[in-house]
Chains A and B, each alone.
Chain A
Amino acid sequence: MADTTTAAQADQKPTRAFGAGRPQRGAGGAPQRGGPRPQRGGQGETKSWTPVTKLGRLVALGLVENIHEIYLFSLPIKEYQIIDKFLNLKDEVMKIVPVQKQTRAGQRTRFKAFVVVGDHNGHVGLGVKCAKEVATAISGAIVAAKLSVIPVRRGYWGNKLGAPHTVPTKVTGKCGSVAVRLVPAPRGTGIVAARVPKKLLQYAGVDDVYTSSRGKTRTMGNFVMATFFAITKTFAYLTPDLWREVKLIKTPYQEHSAKLSEKQQ
């Protein structure tokens, strides 16, 4: 991936700029005056992405119109640029913790970053990454979060007026000892939850919901993962309005198999 190459180059030169080094982008241009550096959240110069997976190639060619085509067939997404192409995601660092590992030569401490991404309108992802430097951990966690983006189904509490604003049914998620239950709420209630799950639900685009939690919620990691699993289940629940039979359609791999078998330039 693009990030790891710049990090490797930085290691070669003993500079004070950890992790950033000389951003040698493109075809070895002027070494000193490098291009804009890949700051977190900033746009900068995007290196052109050469896809590695089949799905990546289809997306790069523009043969996949909507990310929901990918979700329909439960295709695993292994390149984060696919998500970037379809969605405009905002990210936020929730926490950085130091973690330690015991080695023969004493202890090895590293930084672990927890990041949430979302577009406040139906897509949310959580990512975690451990690295020696904070900046590396954060950018790695953002990549991990983008890969784990999940669609969130919203519904109505009562009358089906206006846009969907709450979870469609009561859903429960469990992680470790923590179980979280999301219950539909009327319009205007807001998100009734603890601070960190509230942030996750805001990034998901859920406007009103009640939450109920049980277990050791002090383990914030499990708490937030349990809410994440709960909102994952919104699209897994078969409600009566989805009973209507839909015609089977071909998967993107099958449909565009001709294009895929073409040799890549």
Chain B
Amino acid sequence: MQDWSKWPTVEPLKSSLTFDFNNNNNNNNNIQIPTIITPATTTTTTTTTTTSTTATTTGSISNLNINQSDSEDLSASDAESTSSVVSSNTNNTGVKYPCLLCSHFEFESRTILEHIFNQHKFVIADVNQITNLVGYLEHWKKQFVGKPLTEFTTVVQTQTSKSEPVTNYYLLSDILPQDQDIRRKLQTGQLNSILEQQHSERINPNFTCICPMCPATFKGDRSSVTTHLVEQHNFNIGLSDNLVNLKELLEILKEKCDEMQCLYCEKIFKSQSVLKLHMKKKKHNRLNPTNTTYDKYYLLNYLEPGKNWEDLKKDHGDNDDDDNKYINNIDIMKQAQNENNGNHQISHWDDWTEGSENEIEDTAVCLFCETHFDNSDCTFEHMRNVHNFDFDKKRKSWNLDYYESIKLLNFIRRCVSEMICCYCGDNSFKDKETFFSHLHINQHEHCGVIQENPVWKDAQYLFPTYENDNILTNFEEFDESENQQYLEEELEYQSNLIDEMQQNRDDILKKMNESNITF
């Protein structure tokens, strides 16, 4: 029996440690950490790589010229392009529009479309409704390689006069389902990124801005500016939840006010007081609806490209039919009961699925080496295969309950962070390499803990060693049987109760009949 008192003493942690995800020593799965750029910064570009072209094309400006801060995943077939944050002022950051059929580049959408029309007699239908022209062109460029144009396009034959030869024009439109698909994907990609941006603006506690009409400053809540404009200046730009890039919009408004320009009719006046009088008298207390420079600040315009907000208001169509019924607390309880019985009703919550941006939250780190994995299942498998550490088997053979398993995991984490061997208690290691090589000797014999060792059963290991340690939340194989047993017992008890009540009722009825009581 080993003498456990010789084990190096470890002080309980004051607060949990944090993982350092930036250092990957030997990683099997490389995780790209997306850098989230706040809208406060001006011009930063991230290079984009497409799988087909070797030349790197930067940026992607949609027809509305918006700012996008997160990486966009447009995985149509293989086309992948990440959008960058481009300030709306500088338009010449090298956005290249590639030609579909040759290797010609242009810097503006108008000129590339002209080139395509003149050189190749090729027309794209509804070009204004494509949200991301570069992505679209790149996708089709790959598709056209080696295949005839007529496979994808419809041919329009024109003849200027009877004597002239017939010329063929090729039209690419969304009659083709693949085209419809790519357009829709581009649009949802853009919509998602713009919503992301609005969300980051909403939770940003450092939001500060100045009112366009008076020198008052506002911090924190975006809605305070819009309420101030309504209350103090009687000017209505809309609810802050419908707006994105609010700071830019306010700057534009401020510029206009400083130039003594009315925001509705856009006439210039001589002084501030004349301007205010005009706006009050004529009731010009909203923005000019026909001015398209304001379009990109309102989220409503991103829903359907090509339609502006006036058209959208007109086609109400069928309003929310199924959404009008509010779920209350009793419905929730009924739904919970249904879930337990196994009847899952497709709830309103099914639409929310997290995409690739949450990979960093799912990542888990191995206990015995510093490898990161995409999720905790991979981590446990790795530990089984490489480190001979089968946690599920250990739990079953040592009969560990939930709390003891937690203690074991936290203990191993703690030992590894302090460079103490969790198996033999050796703490003479000076650096990580020797420590890990010690752990891995003898076919990873020391990757584990001896059951009799009382040190790991200490209560301090109930506290998680690392914050956001995903293996703590996912180590359990769900034992349906435990819950199932409770449910069965509950049902049995309830049916017994009902039988008893019915029995009582029958007895009472019988007695009444016997004694002939009438009311």
Binding site for B on A (CB under 8 A): 11, 14-20, 32-34, 36-37, 39-42, 71, 74-78, 93, 95-100, 103, 105, 107-112, 114, 126, 128-135, 138, 143-144, 147-150, 170, 172-176, 179, 181, 183, 185-186, 188-190, 192-195, 210-214, 217-222, 224-225, 228-229, 232-233, 236
Interface string of B304-348 (1 = CB under 8 A from A): 100001101101011010010011111111011001100010011
A221 and B326 contacting across the interface, CB-CB below 8 Å: no
Contact of A185 among B300, B317, B329, B462 (CB under 8 A): B462
Query: Closest Cβ of chain A: how far from B308's Cβ, in Å?
Result: 11
Instruction: Find the A residue at minimum CB distance from B263.
Output: A16
Residues of A within 8 A of B469 (CB): 192
Residues of B within 8 A of A173 (CB): 336, 339
- Determine the main DSSP class of A at the interface with B: mixed
Contact of A189 among B202, B238, B464 (CB under 8 A): B464
- Count of A-B residue pairs with CB < 8 Å: 230
Instruction: Find the A residue at minimum CB distance from B459.
Output: A186
Contact of B348 among A36, A77, A128, A214 (CB under 8 A): A128
Q: How far is the CA of A222 from the CA of B354 in the complex (A)?
A: 11
Q: Contacts A175-B347, A186-B462, A189-B462 given; indicate if A210 touches B472 (C-beta within 8 A).
A: yes
B352 and A133 contacting across the interface, CB-CB below 8 Å: no
Residues of B within 8 A of A134 (CB): 198, 241-242, 299
Name 30 interchain pairs, CB-CB below 8 A, sorted by A. Answer: A15-B289, A18-B239, A19-B239, A36-B231, A37-B230, A39-B227, A40-B241, A41-B223, A71-B329, A76-B328, A76-B331, A77-B328, A95-B199, A98-B191, A103-B318, A108-B317, A111-B195, A133-B299, A148-B329, A186-B463, A189-B464, A192-B472, A192-B473, A210-B402, A212-B473, A212-B474, A212-B478, A221-B350, A229-B335, A233-B336
Residues of A within 8 A of B239 (CB): 17-20, 37, 39, 135
Query: Closest Cβ of chain B: how far from A112's Cβ, in Å?
Result: 6
Binding site for A on B (CB under 8 A): 16, 184, 188, 191-192, 195, 198-199, 202, 221, 223, 226-227, 230-231, 234, 236-242, 283, 285-289, 294, 298-300, 303-304, 309-310, 312-313, 315, 317-318, 320, 323, 326-333, 335-336, 339-340, 344, 347-354, 358, 361-362, 402, 406, 459, 462-464, 468-470, 472-478, 483
Q: How far is the CA of A154 from the CA of B330 in the complex (A)?
A: 21
A132 and B472 contacting across the interface, CB-CB below 8 Å: no
B332 and A42 contacting across the interface, CB-CB below 8 Å: no
Residues of B within 8 A of A42 (CB): 223, 227
A18 and B323 contacting across the interface, CB-CB below 8 Å: no
A114 and B327 contacting across the interface, CB-CB below 8 Å: no
Q: How far is the CA of A88 from the CA of B452 in the complex (A)?
A: 52
Residues of A within 8 A of B344 (CB): 175-176
Residues of A within 8 A of B348 (CB): 112, 128, 130
Q: How far is the CA of A172 from the CA of B210 in the complex (A)?
A: 49
Instruction: Find the B residue at minimum CB distance from A21.
Output: B236
Residues of B within 8 A of A36 (CB): 227, 230-231
Q: Nearest 9 CB-CB pairs, A to B?
A: A221-B349, A221-B352, A135-B241, A135-B239, A76-B330, A229-B336, A17-B236, A39-B223, A214-B478
